[in-house]
Amino acid sequence: MWLAPLNAHDDLMDTTPASARLCDLNPTAQPARIGDPACFQPSDALADPAGSGPPRCAADPAGFGPPDAAADAVGFGPPDPAPDPAGFGPPRPAVAARPPWAGIALIAAAAFAVEMAVGARYGYARDELYFLAAGRHLAFGYVDQPPLTPLLARISAAVTGNTLIGFRVLPALAMAALAVATAAMSRLLGAGRTGQLLAALAAATCAEYLGAMHELTTTTPDFVLWAITLLLVMRLLVSRDPRWWVPIGVCVGIASEAKWNIGFLAAALAAGFLATDARRLLRSRYLLIGGVIAAGLAAPDLIWQAAHGWPSADVFRALQTAAGHNRAVYWPGQILFTGPILTPVWVTGAIWSLRSAAARRFRPVAIACVIAIALQFVLGGKPYYPGAAYTFLLAAGCVPLERRLAARRPLARRVSPATAVAAAMLVGAVVAAPIALPVLPARVLHTVPLQKINYDLGETIAWPKLVALVAREYDTLPGPQRQRTTILTGNYGEAGAIDRYGPALGLPAVYSGANNFWLWGPPPAADTAAIAVNVNPALLRREFSQVRLVATFSNGLGVSDDEQGAQVFLATGLRSSWSQSWPAFRNYS
């Protein structure tokens, strides 16, 4: 059902006149007119016949502006008129011609197809194996992450038959979603057809997104929910309708159940609003409602953390030991992860969105993205943490890029400048693909150690072979001893691999002191021996009377990774009960 039209008494906490709330932040803006897509028209029943979401303009039922019969919906056709080739001139309308949905959909579909084409190469990533195990122990929280990703892992495994290629469907869909969201942002920023297609292509060819959206980890929903949050905030700034705070709150709340990283974006957005005229939108009861919803969605994880003694604090302290290294590689990482072709685009986007009069309305989002990126450097976060902020910066960069391209002549009188830029983006993706994705044979990583750049490349190979080695040692034990032997591992990747592949080989349940695996212990009281994979031998000798090295793992490819050379021990004669010795195995990191 439609919400009542905004008026001077619509929001008791908002003292801003209704006309000021409905129009652009630009002090020279004129009052809203029927059919003006830059302003919100609450009285138009055509805006949302189902009444299922925040109002949109009557001129565009899809919420993207008036249709243009002459628009080319597929390719890089003639760009919109560009009175300012430099892209820094007088403001353009916030929404231009009809979006080239066919072209955007084609780019998104191609991104999905690329991810799926390599989805079954190599194997599960270390974190994916952990999330599969966590999905079999559903809870409101975990030691090192909120509950959403384990839930998605469980659903994905159940729906797709617990196959690797099926497990990669959700990340591939997330990659397509980033391309669509980036195109939608560029449209709101004023990009025409060509700019929107370039924005979608920029996201689809970004090396960071290619790599991150290949796997189902906490980064997957985190990036998508950041992008959706930014898009919703832009909708708020366009419409001046404070009711957008409600879906924003919902999105932030869901994101908090994916990764705590969303808190940095929320804080940066608050700073962006307070630093601009958009602060008037903070005086709204809908912001309070959205905040309550976000807090309510985040509460289960926070309650779980409090009930378990805030184990995440130990994880954060462990992460901080790498803060110096992270700062040293942070800014080169921003260039490497986005790629040398796209770096000028997002740098231009940051400058344009912070300085241009045409982007003044969206200044809070620009400030927030720049703050989010800089803040992770200051805090010593990993270079990829603020990666989703580049969806906005790439979208913003494609606005002045489109206008500059419009002023250029075709290359060799045949190739349009926009086509040349698109080709350069594709070339950049091809160059980045061997680093971001498992496109090369795994054996190549022995001679060309690309896993030194993309850690996960090396951490996705030979897991079944490791489990087979453990099963072989377990099967060599005499029957009575085997019945009293448990399986221990030093990290959650090994534990996750045995949990995934072990049952088919007859292995018992696996235990580990790593993160949430420790909470799923201790081993059965009757077990007095253990086959221990990559466990500190000094710890084993303290807890067992006899410790013997029985095997050393080799992935058979000569690839240097965290498991190559891992030692397998047989430990017998548990000195005390598991309830007494288990605390010594805990490793929250």
Q: Which distant-in-sequence residues (6+ apart) come within 8 Å of 372 by Cβ?
A: 264, 265, 268, 386, 389
Residues 467 and 432 in one domain: no
Looking at the domain assignment, is residue 100 inside a domain? no
pLDDT value at 547 more than 90: yes
Determine the pLDDT at residue 470.
98
Residues 222 and 269 in one domain: yes
Q: Name residue, tokens 């929320």.
A: 266
How many other C-beta atoms are found inside a 10 Å radius of the C-beta of residue 459?
A: 23
Instruction: Summarize pLDDT for 282-334 with one digit per residue, the tens.
Output: 999 999 999 999 999 999 999 999 999 999 999 999 999 999 999 999 999 99
Residues 362 and 488 in one domain: no
Residues 184 and 297 in one domain: yes
Residues 505 and 398 in one domain: no
Task: Answer with the residue of higher pLDDT: 521 or 76.
Answer: 521
Looking at the domain assignment, is residue 117 inside a domain? yes
* Selection from 512, 516, 438, 353 nearest residue 164 by Cα: 438
Total structural domains in the chain? 2
Looking at the domain assignment, is residue 451 inside a domain? no
* Selection from 248, 225, 224, 221 nearest residue 235 by Cα: 248
Determine the pLDDT at residue 414.
82
Looking at the domain assignment, is residue 97 inside a domain? no
The DSSP output letter for 93 is P
Residues 431 and 563 in one domain: no
pLDDT value at 20 more than 70: no
Enclosing H/E stretch for 550: strand 544-552
* Selection from 53, 51, 56 nearest residue 39 by Cα: 56
Q: Are 460 and 438 in contact (CB under 8 A)?
A: yes
Burial class (CB in 10 A: 0-12, 13-18, 19+), 33: exposed
Instruction: Summarize pLDDT for 408-467 with one digit per residue, the tens.
Output: 888 777 889 999 999 999 999 999 999 999 999 999 999 999 999 999 999 999 999 999
Strands (E), 434-493: 485-489
Determine the pLDDT at residue 79.
40
Looking at the domain assignment, is residue 53 inside a domain? no
Enclosing H/E stretch for 288: helix 285-307
> Encoding tokens for residue 519?
């909470």
For helices 219-239 and 169-188, the axis angle rounded to 10 degrees is: 20
Looking at the domain assignment, is residue 287 inside a domain? yes
> Encoding tokens for residue 299?
């509460």
Residues 394 and 484 in one domain: no
Phi–psi pair at 228, nearest 5 degrees: -65, -40
Residues 400 and 512 in one domain: no
Residues 469 and 431 in one domain: no
Instruction: Classify strands 510-512 and 485-489 as parallel, antiparallel or unpaired.
Output: parallel
* Selection from 221, 207, 216, 279 nearest residue 254 by Cα: 221
Radius of gyration of the chain (CA): 27
Looking at the domain assignment, is residue 35 inside a domain? no
Region 457-480: mean pLDDT is: 96
Domain that holds residue 546: 463-585
Point out the least confidently predicted range of 43-47, 135-139, 244-248, 564-568: 43-47
Q: Are 360 and 25 in contact (CB under 8 A)?
A: yes
* Selection from 462, 468, 464 nearest residue 438 by Cα: 462
Mean per-residue pLDDT over the chain, rounded: 87
Q: Which distant-in-sequence residues (6+ apart) come within 8 Å of 121 by Cβ?
A: 438, 439
Region 531-540: mean pLDDT is: 97
Residues forming a β-bridge with 488: 511, 532
Instruction: Summarize pLDDT for 336-371 with one digit per residue, the tens.
Output: 999 999 999 999 999 999 999 999 999 999 999 999
Residues 393 and 506 in one domain: no
Q: Are 235 and 54 in contact (CB under 8 A)?
A: yes
Task: Tell me the DSSP string of 43-63.
Answer: T-GGG-TT--SS---TT-TTS
Residues 479 and 426 in one domain: no
Looking at the domain assignment, is residue 539 inside a domain? yes
Region 265-275: mean pLDDT is: 98
Percent helix, strand, coil in the chain, to 5, is 55, 5, 40
- Rounded to whole angstroms, the Cα distance separating 453 from 450 reads 5
Determine the pLDDT at residue 97.
58
* Selection from 244, 232, 254 nearest residue 185 by Cα: 232
Q: How far is CA 513 from CA 35, 97, 138, 455, 572, in A?
A: 62, 57, 18, 23, 18
Instruction: Summarize pLDDT for 114-125 with one digit per residue, the tens.
Output: 999 999 999 999
CA 282 to chain centre: 27
Judged by DSSP in three states, 431 sits in helix
Task: Tell me the DSSP string of 178-209.
Answer: HHHHHHHHHHHTT--HHHHHHHHHHHHH-HHH
Q: Which distant-in-sequence residues (6+ apart) come within 8 Å of 115 by Cβ?
A: 168, 171, 172, 175, 210, 213, 214, 437
Amino acid type, 220:
T
Residues 344 and 475 in one domain: no
